[in-house]
Structure 1
Amino acid sequence: MRVFLAGGTGLIGSRLIQELLNRGDQPVVLTRRASSVQDRPEFRQVDVVQGDPTTSGPWQEKVDGCEAVVNLTGHNLFAKRWSPEVKRLIRDSRVHSTEHLASAVDQATKRPSVFVQGSAIGYYGMTGDEELTESSPSGTDFMAVICREWEDASRSVTDRGTRLVILRTGIVLAKGEGALGVMTPLFKWLPGGAAPVGSGSNPLMPGTGNQWMSWIHLTDIVGLILLAIDSKDAQGPINGTAPNPVRNVEFSRELARVLHRPFLPIGPPDFLLRTVLGEVAQTVTKGQRVVPARAIELGYRFAFPELTGALQDLLGSKAHSAAF
């Protein structure tokens, strides 16, 4: 199977490519830096295409003949403080890329049978303790609006018979990258030990970590993408989260235990995080309680349904001797 990937050089895309190659598929990866990507050992068996998904171009012709498209594009939310210009880039990098990929599907003579559209649990907004499934409504904050527009830009592919799966991804756990890439060194070296962040009752008071974290191991988010590609029953939204979300304080305590660090029950106040990170701090200090109801209905078996097992796999003693 030929699988066209946009955003294939990032955390999730790179691991997905490995799995596609392992099972005999042919990844076709769109990138703005084709020459440097082709020099990387993990991409030597990959068909690398030069192009910018935010603009139309000859790259769109490469979608023709691919059986699947996976769209993982999007500007890093934590790259810079959220100025109006950065917000526009966050929005446009997602929406315009999706529009051009959907157009490429429409123009193809041999259209892909499935289009896997990336999204995020930010779609639901900040909802406190409410349990959220794929049928829950969208929120009204900045990220919720972005996610709605992002998803809506992909819906035209269904007009010509392509199956659409929308994967709303939570916090992806991977060794040395993503959330753990930021949190692990902090927890190892903070004086006094690790501590929760966010959800203080008062922005000036210490954080208690009472907000929910809907996480997923890298192995399982890739597994869900493969399920979306392979299963004809998979369509519409699927929450890319583990079945057991935890509160931030529980996550912090367990991460401290795996790292053999002391744990403090209170952390920095919300205003301090807002001062350091800007508006993006709300994605850390607030959260959602999201469950993958649709994935479970489809019969997906999570390799890491519990946080303890996920962190032990990534950061425990056996992980130090394993290639990841």
Structure 2
Amino acid sequence: MKILITGGTGLIGRELIKLIMTHHLVVLTRNIYQARQKLAHISNSNLNFIRSLDELSTLDDFDAVINLAGEPIADKLWTKQQKKRICDSRWSITQQLVSLIQASSNPPRVFISGSAVGYYGDHQASRFDERVEVHSERFSHYVCANWEKIALNAKSDNTRVILLRTGVVLSMDGGAMKKMLLPYQLGLGGPIGNGKQLLPWIHMVDMARAIVYLLECEYAHGAFNITAPNPVSNKEFSKTLAHTLGRPHLLFTPKWLIKLLMGESSELLLDSLGAKPRRLIDAGFQFHFSRIEPALSNLLHHHH
């Protein structure tokens, strides 16, 4: 297959590329030199880079497009400018890809586009799957809903569209896990807020495997929750993390402090999102890590 990838040097992109590097990959990146360094483990014959989608007038050459680009949502305070950056970095590239797909006479058979469980907004203590009705005023819902709407415009009899409603991806190479570990390593770890909010986690290995599965599963289309089948409460997560690290689990971080430090983006830590991967399981996908304990112990003890 010839596959166009955006966000290929990001956390998920790098892991995904390890699994599909026998295919012919074209990676969109602003900095080709840096991208080469990050993907140095892949044979050059299978890997090309482009700096801009303007270099393409159609996607007739491609069998698949995987769109993972986007400004990290949790890295900075949500100022007006940062919110705009978060939206633009997702929406405009997705719109460009959709326009290229629409301009193709022989378009890619599949368009896989990023989204996130933030689409659902806060769901208190309930667990839910893709069938749930969503009415949310949250910024994360606003970002994801419009992002998905744009991506779905690529859908036709020739192209199936898959939306990846990604949970909290656990990886030792970055993302949420890196941020969470520090307080625990200092012996200061503990739950956030009342700790009851559900955390829709997924092990990085399953994250990448799920994308490959949906890429190859000819009849899969629409929105999929890319989360492990057993979401856990924030309290249970932090207890397991402390236990796995052999560290105390003492302090809790009060809700007001998180809100003070993070402002509106505190919804990323305080909202409860017990998303279940019903459609992924129905499509036949099998998780390597469906429970939090083995997932954390794998990440913390097998990391080199």
Residue 182 of structure 2 corresponds to residue 197 of structure 1? no
Q: Deviations over 1:193-247 (max 9, x none)?
A: 421012xxxxxxxxx2110001000011111111111001211111000000000
Cα pair 1:37 1:43 within 8 Å, conserved: no
In terms of mean alpha carbon deviation, does 79-88 or 8-17 score higher? 79-88
1:43 Cα deviation (Å)?
4.9
1:170 Cα deviation (Å)?
0.3
Q: Secondary structure at the match of 1:78?
A: coil
Residue 93 of structure 2 corresponds to residue 105 of structure 1? no
In terms of mean alpha carbon deviation, does 219-228 or 239-248 score higher? 219-228
Q: Could you tell me how far apart the structure 1 residues matched to 2:3 and 2:238 are?
A: 37
Q: Could you tell me how far apart the structure 2 residues matched to 1:310 and 1:79 are?
A: 24
Q: Could you tell me how far apart the structure 1 residues matched to 2:257 and 2:41 are?
A: 40
Q: Deviations over 1:248-298 (max 9, x none)?
A: 00000000011110112x512111112222211121122211100001101
Report the equivalent of 1:204: none
Residue 272 of structure 2 corresponds to residue 287 of structure 1? yes
Question: Aligned match of 1:302 in 259, 283, 287?
Answer: 287
Question: Aligned match of 2:160 in 155, 163, 167?
Answer: 163
What pairs with 1:49-198 in structure 2 (closer than 5 Å)? 49-51=50-52, 57-58=54-55, 60-61=56-57, 63-138=59-134, 139-159=136-156, 161-190=158-187, 193-198=188-193
More RCO (CA 8 Å, sep 6+): 2
Question: Aligned match of 2:26 in 1, 25, 28?
Answer: 28
Report the equivalent of 1:273: 258
User: How many residue pairs were aligned?
Assistant: 300
TM-score using structure 2 length: 0.94
Q: Could you tell me how far apart the structure 1 residues matched to 2:5 and 2:256 are?
A: 39
Q: Could you tell me how far apart the structure 2 residues matched to 1:257 and 1:79 are?
A: 27
Q: Could you tell me how far apart the structure 2 residues matched to 1:277 and 1:141 are?
A: 15
1:77 Cα deviation (Å)?
1.2
1:35 Cα deviation (Å)?
2.5
Letter in 2 for 1:298: A
What pairs with 1:305-324 in structure 2 (closer than 5 Å)? 305-316=290-301, 319-320=302-303, 323=304
Q: Secondary structure at the match of 1:254?
A: helix
Letter in 1 for 2:89: S
Report the equivalent of 2:17: 17
Q: Could you tell me how far apart the structure 2 residues matched to 1:130 and 1:12 are?
A: 28
Q: What CA RMSD, in Å, does the superposition of the two structures yield over aligned residues?
A: 1.5
Cα pair 1:187 1:256 within 8 Å, conserved: yes
Report the equivalent of 2:41: 42
Cα pair 2:245 2:300 within 8 Å, conserved: yes
Q: Could you tell me how far apart the structure 2 residues matched to 1:210 and 1:81 are?
A: 24
| Pair 1:62–1:37, CA change in 2 (3 A) | farther
Cα pair 1:106 1:160 within 8 Å, conserved: no
Q: Could you tell me how far apart the structure 2 residues matched to 1:30 and 1:83 are?
A: 27
1:131 Cα deviation (Å)?
1.8
| Pair 1:253–1:39, CA change in 2 (3 A) | closer
Q: Could you tell me how far apart the structure 2 residues matched to 1:287 and 1:115 are?
A: 29
1:160 Cα deviation (Å)?
5.5
1:63 Cα deviation (Å)?
3.3
Residue 252 of structure 2 corresponds to residue 254 of structure 1? no
Q: Could you tell me how far apart the structure 1 residues matched to 2:176 and 2:76 are?
A: 16
1:61 Cα deviation (Å)?
3.9
Report the equivalent of 2:8: 8
Q: Could you tell me how far apart the structure 1 residues matched to 2:43 and 2:265 are?
A: 36
Cα pair 1:173 1:217 within 8 Å, conserved: yes
Report the equivalent of 2:208: 222
Q: Could you tell me how far apart the structure 2 residues matched to 1:106 and 1:172 are?
A: 32
Q: Could you tell me how far apart the structure 2 residues matched to 1:43 and 1:37 are?
A: 11
Q: Which runs of 4+ in 1 moved over 4 A?
A: none
Identity of aligned residues (%): 33
1:137 Cα deviation (Å)?
2.1
Q: Could you tell me how far apart the structure 2 residues matched to 1:140 and 1:154 are?
A: 21
Q: Could you tell me how far apart the structure 1 residues matched to 2:269 and 2:280 are?
A: 25
Q: Secondary structure at the match of 2:115?
A: strand
